[in-house]
Structure 1
Amino acid sequence: MWTPEDTYAIGRIDLPDASTHGWQVRLQRRGRKYAKYFGDRQCGGPKQSYREALAWRDELLEELDIRQQPVARVCQRSRRNSSGVVGVSKIAVSAANGETYLFWQATWSPAVGQRCCVKFSVKRHGDRAAFRLAVEARQRGIGKE
């Protein structure tokens, strides 16, 4: 059985029509992308290509110092943030019946690699109350309350 640590940033590529079989490592840190492909044929089979991909990924993570010191990004308001609160946004969801529903959504990361999200209906709570509920949920989620 695979664990998330076994497959983190590693994906299997099987494209029989292109005769492409192997493992690919893909990471992005602070806007910079890292990627490398490990072909089964070049590495001596799928098990060996996986081992080489895993070793390369682990070396890269150590080099980037990800495992020892996970650093949380400091979120700041950007031009694209119209709510004025980091992690709170107004979204529109289109239902199968063609109706569009508005929500205020709060998102946060309780731990490295995890993401939480909660939505509050504008129709049910009203615009101001839904926004306030989203802000409060975000604050509770990031532990500021």
Structure 2
Amino acid sequence: MQLAPLFLIAALERDGKPFWRVLLKRQGKTRQKRFYHHLHGGEAPALAAAQQWRAQVLAEHPPYSKLDQVRKHRRNNSSGRTGVYLQTSKRVRNGRLAKHQVWQARTPEGITPIRTRSFAVRKYGDEQAFRLAVAARENFEQELALPRDLEQPAV
């Protein structure tokens, strides 16, 4: 894949000294480096050095794939599986407060329309409902790997 010449590179100046700055974030860390024109023998050699450093850093730290991004475990996830959560609803039924719990799987970001699959704890039991929701989420995630023209329409 060919990168644009100035991808992640900016022309800046500090204290009257021009430089190229390469700035990128990977795996939660910022990586940056400045390439001053006067230290590299001019603007063009400084840009070449910046492009070479950028290529090296990108090779060592490639970006996450879309599938890796949607599988990333977030801090606020309490189920242990991304995109799977326990939903509890309460309602009055026959004069009593009834609690209904389902394990629900949700499509990852990037898949539209957003869909969910729910599995009732009362019907399947807690463990089986959770396993079914995890399997549904994995099926949703596989849709990200399909080329757009091969995807099956939602039924």
Give the TM-score range, shorter chain: 0.3 to 0.5
Q: TM-score, normalised by structure 2?
A: 0.44
Q: TM-score, normalised by structure 1?
A: 0.47
Tell me which structure has the larger Cα radius of gyration: 2
